[in-house]
Amino acid sequence: MRKSILAGAGLLALSILPAVTAAAQTGTAWLHVRVEEAKQASKVAVNLPMTVVEAVLKASPEMIEKHGKIHLGEEHGMKMADLRKAWKALAEVGDAELVTVESEEENVKVMRKGDLVQVFVDRKPKPGKDGKAATKGAEEVRVEVPVSLVDAFLSGEGEEGNIQAAVAELQKRRGDIVRVNDEDSHVRVWIDEQNTQSPAGK
Amino acid sequence: MTKLAVILGVPIALLATVASLGVVVVDVREGGPDGHRIVVPVPLVFAQAALAIAPAVVPADKLRIPDNEALEHIGLAREVLEALAQAPDGELVRVEERDELVVITKEGRSLRVRVSGAKENVSVNVPLHLALQALPDEQGHIRTAALAGALGAVRFTDLVDVQDGNDHVRVWVW
């Protein structure tokens, strides 16, 4: 009898467990930003449903035109048509290290890996006084942009980037987008379906 | 006896009617042994009536926000509030500092802002539909009639709760 009760309770707990763990899962994509600054002992967490992000991007008048497109134009250094051509050529190459810069101050790498464009920047620490071991100024930046996001952004016409298509693509993305770590602060931007920043997500 | 019943009954019925339509209550409690307590109940129907007749008695330019940068962002604010109203509930912002915690959450059709400090605790509840109606239109006109209508839907809501040391201020709609 006792075993039956225990088994029943166990089954009940198992049936409740998915409901409990899924309590924070909203089925909607959420954009999360987390900034931690150790010196100031401050932590900032922002969680926004992608629908709200989309609304902000759609309605921001300075940057985006009525139809949700960003003008790139020549004033930004590169014509959109050239950017499209370059991107098409890169797509045909497949996985490759696109840019490598190695200097005394920092190493920069831009590569395409699978369905991601990865940008890695590693700033080296400044050397200490009198040739002592380097201690301060180190910084690590990791940016991961899905190829499909760039495809969507470049799907506009003329000198316009299609921000609406890009946001729609971003809605499908799950995982890290940006990570910046330096000695004082940590910044992380990611997308998932949680409406809060769970300890696992820290 | 009948006269007495009428004399007492009419005001009680009136009071009950006004109360049933909603009352905004401002409750201020001062700390300390000599602290005062002030409770100001304002029938919601009075506030609604004042808002409804405002366009008739207040010059039009006073019910309009000036043409400045704020007016340019009304559209953005409306889009964001509408998107928030339709979005699922969740914690939107959390700022943790040494001696202060700020949390903004979306709960149902409201935004709740909580600020907790060493001496002060503030809680503000912003009904999203009220905020939407309080936004001026594209020409900057404040839509008082719409605002009056929206007020009726914020009943049984704690709007503001401020605890500052021993002082306590609370505004709620009953």
> Which residue of chain B comes nearest to A28, CA vs CA?
B88
Q: Give the 3-state secondary structure percentages of chain A, helix then strand then coil, rounded to 5.
A: 35, 40, 25
- In the prediction, which pLDDT does A22 show? 40
Indicate if the pLDDT at residue A20 is higher than 60.
no
Closest to A154 measured CA to CA, from A58, A87, A77: A87
**pLDDT, tens only, A172-189:** 889 888 888 887 889 999
Residue A107 DSSP SS3: strand
Note the pTM of the prediction, 2 decimals: 0.75
Which residue out of A195, A196, A197, A202 would a mutagenesis test of the B interface target, given it has the greatest number of B Cβ atoms within 10 Å? A195
Distance of alpha carbon B174 from alpha carbon B159, whole angstroms: 11
Q: How confident is the model at residue A9 (pLDDT cuts 50, 70, 90)?
A: very low
A85 touches B at CB < 8 Å = no
Look at B76 and A60 and tell me if their CB atoms are within 8 Å.
Answer: yes
ipTM: 0.77
> Which residue of chain A comes nearest to B87, CA vs CA?
A49
**pLDDT, tens only, B20-61:** 778 889 999 998 888 899 999 988 888 888 888 888 888 877
pLDDT tens digits in sequence order for chain B, 174 residues long: 677 777 878 778 777 776 677 888 999 999 888 889 999 998 888 888 888 888 888 887 778 887 777 777 888 888 889 999 999 999 999 999 989 999 999 999 899 999 999 889 999 999 999 999 888 888 888 888 888 888 878 888 899 999 998 899 999 988
Question: Alpha carbon of B128 to those of A20, A96, A99, B80, B95: distances in Å?
Answer: 28, 49, 48, 10, 22
- In the prediction, which pLDDT does A137 show? 76
Q: Report residue A106 as tokens.
A: 């920092």
Look at A61 and B75 and tell me if their CB atoms are within 8 Å.
Answer: yes
- In the prediction, which pLDDT does A19 show? 40
Residue A91 DSSP SS3: helix
Distance of alpha carbon A67 from alpha carbon B166, whole angstroms: 53
Beta-strand ranges (E) seen in chain A are 25-37, 42-49, 69-71, 96-102, 106-113, 116-123, 139-146, 160-162, 175-182, 185-194
Contacts of A56 in chain B (CB under 8 A): 76, 79-80
Which residues are CB-contacts of B58 (< 8 A; sequence separation ≥ 6)? none
